[in-house]
Amino acid sequence: MKTILFGIAIAASTFTACTENATQSQEATNTDTAKANTPATNGAITTASTNEVVAHYLHLKNALASDDSKEAATAGRAVVNAIDKIDAASLTADQKKVYDEVKDDIKEHSEHISTNADKIAHQREHFDMLSLDMYDLVKSVKPGQTLYKDHCPMFNDNKGAIWLSEVKDIKNPYYGKKMLTCGEEQEEIK
């Protein structure tokens, strides 16, 4: 009898280990519906919210550049929350098309970054894909500040990866202090 109970307990603990994300995605869905009900406003609010997403993205980028995975996780969570605040109704048709296309992807990558506070390599993999989405977003909805598109040639088995930065100086978020100044500016986005 005891052995059976013990067996069940062990099996239970093995499987629960993989279910911890369930509640979080539930929460995310809830906020989704709540935000969708917020009334539409003018264009100024939109820019503010896009800027907010950009600001949290930059915070994330700087955290990765200083090898701080905990800070990166916090910033990742903030990106998830901010992306929902963008009021799609006040975007132009073209902007909305881009926004609709990148929104879920941005959310998913940021979500992963936020739930992997101890795995900086994994965070960086998602940051790579997130940066591509962010680039498409700021190319469509102009950022409130000058941004630089930087390129790191080594990441992804030398396939390269990009990131967005608010400063001209290179601070590589893919390798942190190992190769902080490695990379080159490719484009200035105004």
The contact set with another protein (CB under 8 A) reads: 1, 5, 8, 11-12, 14-19, 21-22, 25, 101-102, 104-105, 108-109, 121-122, 125-126, 129, 133
Distances (CA, A) of 7 to 4, 15, 17, 19, 178: 5, 13, 16, 19, 46
- C-beta of 18 vs 44, nearer to another protein: 18
With contact defined as beta carbons under 8 Å apart, do 114 and 82 qualify? no
Closer to another protein by CB, 77 or 171: give it.
Answer: 77
Report, in Å, the least distance between residue 7 CB and another protein: 10
Residues 6+ apart with CB under 8 A from 30: none
Q: How near is the Cβ of 31 to another protein at its closest, in Å?
A: 16
What minimum distance in Å lies between the beta carbon of 85 and another protein? 21
Shortest Å, Cβ 74 to another protein: 22
Q: Which residue has the tokens 């881009």?
A: 98
In three-state secondary structure terms, 164 is: strand
Q: In terms of Cα–Cα distance, which of 85, 86, 79, 141 is closest to 106?
A: 79
Whole-number minimum distance, CB 110 to another protein, in Å? Answer: 12
Token pair for 68: 């701080």
Helix (H) or strand (E) holding 189: strand 184-189
C-beta closer to another protein: residue 1 or 36 = 1
> Which residue, 16 or 37, is less far from another protein as judged by CB?
16
Give 162 or 170: the residue with its C-beta nearer to another protein: 162
